[in-house]
Amino acid sequence: MKSKNQFQETELRKIPNDWQFKSIENVCKLVKKIHVHNNNKIRPYIGLENVEEGTLRLDSISTNKSVKSSKYMFKKGQILFGKLRPYFRKVIRPNFDGVCSTEIWVIDSKPGFNNAFLFYFFANQDFVKEATNSSTGTRMPRASWDYLSKLKKPFPPPKEQDVIASILSGFDNKIKLNIQMNSTLEAMCKNVFKKWFVDFDFPTEDGKPYQKSGGEMADSELGKIPNGWKVKTLGKLIKFIKGKKPEVVSEKSFKKSKPLILISVLNGGKPIYANPKGMTNVNSHEPIMVMDGASSGRIEIGYNGIVGSTLAKISITTSEISSFYLYYFLKNIENEIMQNTTGTSIPHADKDMIYDWLIAVPSQTIQQEFDEITKKIFEKIMLNGKEIFVLSEIRDSLLPKLILGRIRVNTL
């Protein structure tokens, strides 16, 4: 590590001796290469809705197949910064070429600077705040590149840029690995669900797959199902309990506060605490659903907390069905739920449609065996999720210190 005393005085502030103040327009540029729509050439497409809020991660990738209006093209490694409502901190650096919304800036470095470092420069909360303050428009505030590009900021020499980017990307690589691991674990649970409750090859007392080994099947509204199973509508088994607008409080100032479950928190954002009085409480392993907004119909498992006004707890009203069986049944039909929302300007999950959905109800013994398997896997998913949050917190704590040279790195 370098000495903390190696700073030079400037008319703006102290910076390390080998750093320089430069205008943002001197270190990078906007790329405005217009995408010409071609039905025969499918490209990955990123809109603001595809970028997670505050996490520096993609939530999903669309395609340009249905995109008709003007869009920008971007290259692998360039920086994408959401200029609309910049306080959402929608900043990513894709590892593929593609097309993006014109509400996203495509930023590329100039000689002597690299995008790996500049990605974290633009993701720094200080820059996000300045972008927010530069915004014009009340209903749809957009950051001003004309203003921001003229700002002078301290920048390290190339070698130090490389090291800083390497340190911060180390956290992101571990986060990505945990996310991939969780996807694999989740896929394992879904595969068990499909094998047991779609293909009906749950293990018999002899350990053999039920249907393949000649298990008795019976006719039902859903077609052939194992003998002894029942068919019911979800409305006979569950009810939605909508969340409410919370009274947000400090975890320390209010001893009885509880963590608030919001979409941003589900996406890995910082926990928020609220007064639980009059709120919808959720216990560990209870399913919840996003009720309003772009991700309406999304199914998640809750933790001990309370749900906000855009979510609902899915409360089981009978002992006939278990929480993990219900959760994975709903995950199995999640896409259909999300594609059949109500509302025009703001989508809403269609509760009535879900209540009318038919579900096969297996024996409690089979459900309990399934719960035992999936609960162990889910606990590992939860541990990985907690680690993702901790790694994100450490990264975001180090980021401004490294970007401003308050913590020096060894470039030898």
The tens digit of pLDDT for each residue in 115-153 reads 999 999 999 999 999 999 999 988 899 999 999 999 999
| 196: DSSP letter | I
Which domains are delineated in the chain?
20-155 (3.90.220.20), 156-202+364-412 (1.10.287.1120), 230-361 (3.90.220.20)
Q: Are 227 and 404 spatial neighbours (Cβ–Cβ below 8 Å)?
A: no
DSSP code at position 268: T
Please report the pLDDT score of residue 249 as a whole number. 63
Q: Are 106 and 78 in contact (CB under 8 A)?
A: yes
Answer yes or no: are the C-beta atoms of 31 and 98 closer than 8 Å: no
Residue 39 CB burial class (10 angstroms; 0-12, 13-18, ≥19): exposed
Q: What is the pLDDT of residue 210?
A: 95
pTM of this prediction exceeds 0.85: no
| For residue 182, pLDDT beyond 80 | yes
Torsion over CA of 326, 327, 332 and 336, rounded to 10 degrees? Answer: 90
Give the whole-angstrom CA distance, residue 25 versus residue 20: 14
CB 325 within 8 A of CB 282: no
Tokens standing for residue 147: 């203003």
Q: How confident is the model over 320-338, as pLDDT tens digits?
A: 999 999 999 999 999 999 9
- Helix, strand, or coil here: 180? helix
pLDDT tops 60 at residue 8:
no
The pair of three-digit structure tokens given for residue 109, joined into one six-digit string: 């470095």
What average pLDDT does this structure show over 218-247?
Answer: 93
253 or 374, higher pLDDT:
374
Report pLDDT for 268: 67
